Structure 1
Amino acid sequence: MASSAMGSCKSEEVDIEKSTQSEWVLNPPEPPSPWRVVADSVRKTISLYKLKFSSHKDQPCTTLLSLLHLFFPILSWATNYSATKFRKDLLAGLTIASLCIPQSIGYATLAHLDPQYGLYTSVVPPLVYAVMGTSREIAIGPVAVVSLLLSSMMEKLVDPAADPVGYTKLMLLATLFAGIFQTSFGLLRLGFLVDFLSHAAIVGFVAGAAIVIGLQQLKGLLGITHFTTKTDVVSVMKAVSKAVHDPWNPRNFILGFSFLVFILTSRFLGKRKKKLFWLASISPLVSVILSTLIVYLTKADKSGVKIVKHVRGGLNPSSIHLLAFNNPYIGEVAKIGLVVAVIALTESIAVGRSFASIKGYQLDGNKEMMSIGLANIIGSLTSCYVATGSFSRTAVNYAAGCESLVSNIVMAMTVLISLQFFTKLLYYTPTAILASVILSALPGLIHISEAYKIWKVDKFDFLASLGAFFGVLFASVEIGLLVAVVISFSKIILISIRPGTETLGKLPGTDLFCDVYQYPMAVKIPGVMIIRVKSALLCFANANFVRERIIKWVTEDEPEDDKRNSRNTIQLVILDTSNLVNIDTSGIASLEELHRSLSSHGKQLAIANPRWQVIHKLKVSNFVSKIGGRVFLTVEEAVGCKSQC
């Protein structure tokens, strides 16, 4: 009697506990509306700024200081700056300046701009970033991929050879738009936009761009006068083939190739022996100096060696008057600015995060966007084109032992001094050397090992990488980007439309229910089929596919290794919705059809572990009442209700 009474009490306690858990599931607070979510997001963004000043509201000076610290991080770390750190930053700044000067001139020619614009871009943007940026190692300036991207899109609007002034105006306007977009991304905390370009797409795009850039440098390396403006490999190779068959001067190739071998050799030695990193860093500048002396002393320019000629010196001139907002191409220029803004941010943030992780500190993505954006806005007003973080110069800056962004200031001041006093010395610099400097930087942009890793991990990602690579190589830079984005989004859409389902079994000795294919030891519950949807959203795109898949498993042919479980004895189908974050009306309609189909075969449907938004919508649509209230907190609890079905 006593034992039966105790058993009865325990049974009642279990029933009460299960009833309580069901109440937890069926009666949660109403989830916030979409407008509430947006309002909360805006409120949180504003509160981040208010929080900085709330403790100092009665102290205006302290509040102003906090505001300055927020927007100018240099004020935070400058108080702990020391002479030892300055010595390291001075060496690092001089080292990257020796690499920056020849690269900047080369990248400006790649962008179809006069050489001085590359040097201008290595002065103002690094100074702006130095006071606003959060990365300690990143080196700001012109980069090869952005230069190629700008020129390939801009020359479709204005021919740089026929109208160099009009072309330069559009480049400066595109830089302003890029800066505005980048700053807006940071202010509105829209960093996710940069993630539209996947890692695999960037690997393929950069590799393709590196090859295209290399092929275009054959113009300078071979001393070709007439060359195609197209960027695809077929057009470039046709232009090279035609030029080689015409009379051409081999002195350009001999001079350029000789110094290319010198730069690559010094880089190889720098990688083999870390103490010789400086040799690889200064080799481009040494090449420029020596080749310029050779041409000047031998009068090689009289014998057909092409030279840079005039490079305008002096401080960065104002370019406000060149920003023509009444230009008929302003809409197209704004689109170019948007594309370039995303590409530049992607490269810069990727570079910054790579070295920040090595040093063990976090990079503020939104502040990075704002700092680079403002650097480009101010740059567009001071004769600069789009600047961003350079991987090659950042790597050199890190290897040189930089401690802070003072190295950027040292680099900018060195370039400024060169602009002020040494531009006349660049008159006899051969264009073949600039081509060699750019060619020497390209191997670092082609990551074969990374492409192989992508192939091993995800074949669809590798397809996106190949699409970007061949798109850039055989069509154009923008087509390559478009192909990569389309393939990446196709992957997302395909996964969304065909999310897949998995049958669950109970792992012996545990309360866990897992995929029976991943865990063959998992035991299926007699008379019960447990199915989990492998998607975060059940919507119009995938609802019918999921419903048909479940009905096929339950009421038609089962997988071969499930036939011995007597399909006709299944009484209960449990849908584990733990992965499901949200559901729309199409998803609910598909569940109702699933319920009707199962009921017609004498089977019942139960829902386990629904999320907040899901259970709210199922209740509002009266679906919970249609399935007899069979909604449970866990799969195990749902299995326990089989006897009631």
Structure 2
Amino acid sequence: MPLSDKVTRYLPILSWARHYDQATFGADMLAAVIVTIMLIPQSLAYALLAGLPPEVGLYASILPLVAYAIFGTSRVLAVGPVAVVSLMTAAAIGNLALQGTAEYLIAAITLAFMSGIMLTLMGLLRLGFLANFLSHPVIAGFITASGILIAFSQLKHIFGISAHGHSLPELLSSLLAHIAETNAYTVVIGVFALGFLFWTRKGLKPLLLRVGTQPRLADVLTKAGPVAAVAATTLAVYLFDLGGKGVSIVGEVPTGLPPLSMPSLSPDLWSQLFLAAVLISIIGFVESVSVAQTLAAKRRQRIDPDQELIGLGTSNIASAISGGYPVTGGFARSVVNFDAGAQTPAAGAFTAIGIAGAALFLTPLLFFHPKATLAATIIVAVLSLVDLSILRTAWGYSKVDFAAVATTIALTLGLGVEAGVSAGVILSIALHLYKTSRPHIAEVGLVPNTQHFRNILRHRVKTAPHLVTLRIDESLYFANARFLEDHVYDRVVCDDPISDVVLMCSAVNEVDLSALESLEAMHARLLDMGIRLHLSEVKGPVMDRLKRSHFLDHLSGQVFLSQYDAWTALHATKRGPKVA
């Protein structure tokens, strides 16, 4: 690969920047304005969810966007704080009993830095394929359960009470224990904000279109709904002195750009946060790359998962050195960025400029902002993540997948987000091992007047009493080799005078050493029974491996190019076994 191509691979900005023009600039700027309007209240709200000061949400939405614009491959992915990662951050650092201390923020910064290092190293080592080990049903179950947890965790701000807990039973118990402390003014603000935001999401745009508003302007005004809720409730708190009547407000938010910061280098803290950093990295990458691939496909573009790891890794490192916490590509804001017409990652950099402007000039206006409105913003955002229909879909399609989804949801709700995501990772791997350890093996016969072979239980086919052909629909490796052995032995122990067994290997992409030893043991046992073992339709790479062993030298039967060749040679004549 030429040096210029290598540089471009690691710096994707060099690829799209050379074609940047005025029209692209205009499209990116418009998208940036819309995303900035949406991102300001979301950033504040997600920082609150993570247990951090609200300005930290703004800090985590500036430099990470710039870093992703340089290193990321998606044209429309919008990086920043997201609900699930914020909840995972709160769960990870909350376990350290640092809430409300300066060390809490240092721990969040350290968590972002650790996640950034992990993701970047995985990208450099080209380990993007590891995300494939997380099954979609399990991830969907985890995100659904996380959305429910997040919504319940914000009810304390809607009611104006104190409550805590990292699992649903803990949250419900704490909410019920403090429900008598409910502040009526806070409830009014929270319910108003919830109702307004739900209506804005569903009803505002159709209303604006009916009164003749241009579609693009209607879209901008709809996305500005949370800003309107922030302005209205902040003004109400200020005018009616609701802060003095028990309504919890944001208070003083520091004005200025993010301060340069350093993560803690304490080995004890790193060891305590290690597992959380791994889980946040995995979930963040899976969520981000899923969104990026979906949106890229709509424009016939492509992303590079390995480079996406580097893009997300550098974004988290940038968040850490600018006083932020872990970030990833957000679904909602990325879709908004896409719909608003963003053409390049420069839209993210322009959004960063807008957020920086808000941090410089708008933070004094947030002093009287009620936390109930931020909680309402979070609840409305995360309820879109809740999809309980995945249970019905999984039940109808696969009981094994249903068990994995239901277990992930139950553990996440019952034990907390870390237990849920850990269970999700383990279940995904266990599910893969279970399915591949019991491969589908079909006995096949010849479809009349063709050269095709199909399952004898599904089709009317020709068979021969002395000939058994088994099609193996999976690669052979240590976890399923014994299963194949047992299946073959069970089949040949019958009253029919079986003389030949053919393993049809058209779906076998690999045979590992354990499977090879199993084939050798099977061959020896069949030979003792007077049965020859044959192979058909063996793929080139598998044949290359077999040739490097002694298996083919001692094979009692033959290796046929096609199953039809095996049928032609073996079905008509019963022969005795070849003596090795």
For normalisation by structure 2, the TM-score amounts to 0.92
**Aligned position for 2:203:** 269
Alignment of 1:352-367 (within 5 A): 352-367=292-307
Q: Contact conserved, 2:47 with 2:56, CA < 8 A, in 1?
A: yes
Cα distance in 2 for partners of 1:532, 1:548 equals 15
Letter of the 1:52 counterpart: P
**Aligned position for 1:294:** 236
> Mean alpha-carbon deviation: is it higher for 616-625 or for 482-491?
616-625
Cα 1:428/1:335, change in 2 over 3 Å: same
Correspondent of 1:235 among 140, 158, 170: 170
Correspondent of 1:480 among 412, 415, 420: 420
> Offset at 1:620?
5.6
Cα distance in 2 for partners of 1:482, 1:507 equals 48
Correspondent of 2:249 among 291, 300, 307: 307
Alignment of 1:194-343 (within 5 A): 194-224=131-161, 226-228=162-164, 230-244=165-179, 246-269=180-203, 276-320=218-262, 323-343=263-283
Structure 2 residue matching 1:106: 3-state secondary structure: helix
Q: Contact conserved, 2:533 with 2:557, CA < 8 A, in 1?
A: no
Correspondent of 2:489 among 513, 527, 551: 551
> Offset at 1:619?
5.2
Cα 1:614/1:247, change in 2 over 3 Å: closer
Letter of the 1:316 counterpart: P
**Aligned position for 1:536:** 475
Deviation per CA, 1:1-43: give whole Å up to 9, x if none.
xxxxxxxxxxxxxxxxxxxxxxxxxxxxxxxxxxxxxxxxxxx
Deviation per CA, 1:227-283: give whole Å up to 9, x if none.
21x211111011111111x33311101111112111110110257566533233101
Structure 2 residue 405 is the aligned partner of structure 1 residue 465: yes
Sequence identity (%): 30
**Aligned position for 1:183:** 120
Structure 2 residue 39 is the aligned partner of structure 1 residue 100: yes
Structure 2 residue 345 is the aligned partner of structure 1 residue 410: no
Structure 2 residue 66 is the aligned partner of structure 1 residue 127: yes
Deviation per CA, 1:410-437: give whole Å up to 9, x if none.
2211111111112111000001000011
Q: Contact conserved, 2:527 with 2:556, CA < 8 A, in 1?
A: no
Structure 2 residue 92 is the aligned partner of structure 1 residue 153: yes
Correspondent of 1:572 among 484, 500, 511: 500
Cα distance in 2 for partners of 1:570, 1:629 equals 14
* Unmatched 5+ stretches in structure 2: 210-214
Q: Contact conserved, 2:469 with 2:502, CA < 8 A, in 1?
A: yes
For normalisation by structure 1, the TM-score amounts to 0.83
Cα distance in 2 for partners of 1:503, 1:587 equals 20
**Aligned position for 1:169:** 106
Deviation per CA, 1:104-132: give whole Å up to 9, x if none.
11111111111111000111111121222
> Mean alpha-carbon deviation: is it higher for 386-395 or for 88-97?
88-97
Letter of the 2:135 counterpart: S
* Unmatched 5+ stretches in structure 1: 1-50, 54-62, 557-566
Q: Contact conserved, 1:504 with 1:516, CA < 8 A, in 2?
A: yes
Cα 1:515/1:377, change in 2 over 3 Å: same
> Mean alpha-carbon deviation: is it higher for 429-438 or for 277-286?
277-286
Structure 1 residue matching 2:442: 3-state secondary structure: strand
Q: Contact conserved, 1:538 with 1:580, CA < 8 A, in 2?
A: no
When Rg is computed on C-alpha atoms for both structures, the one with the higher figure is 1
Structure 2 residue matching 1:328: 3-state secondary structure: helix
> Mean alpha-carbon deviation: is it higher for 454-463 or for 285-294?
454-463
> Offset at 1:376?
1.2
Correspondent of 1:429 among 363, 369, 387: 369
Cα distance in 1 for partners of 2:533, 2:277 equals 54
Cα distance in 1 for partners of 2:432, 2:403 equals 13
> Offset at 1:507?
1.3
Structure 2 residue 462 is the aligned partner of structure 1 residue 523: yes
Cα distance in 2 for partners of 1:547, 1:474 equals 41
**Aligned position for 1:84:** 23
> Offset at 1:393?
1.0
> Mean alpha-carbon deviation: is it higher for 524-533 or for 173-182?
524-533
**Aligned position for 1:496:** 436
Number of positions where the alignment pairs a residue of Structure 1 with one of Structure 2: 565
> Offset at 1:543?
2.8
**Aligned position for 1:4:** none
> Offset at 1:305?
1.1
Cα distance in 2 for partners of 1:194, 1:116 equals 32
> Offset at 1:601?
4.1
> Offset at 1:613?
5.7
Q: Contact conserved, 2:279 with 2:421, CA < 8 A, in 1?
A: no
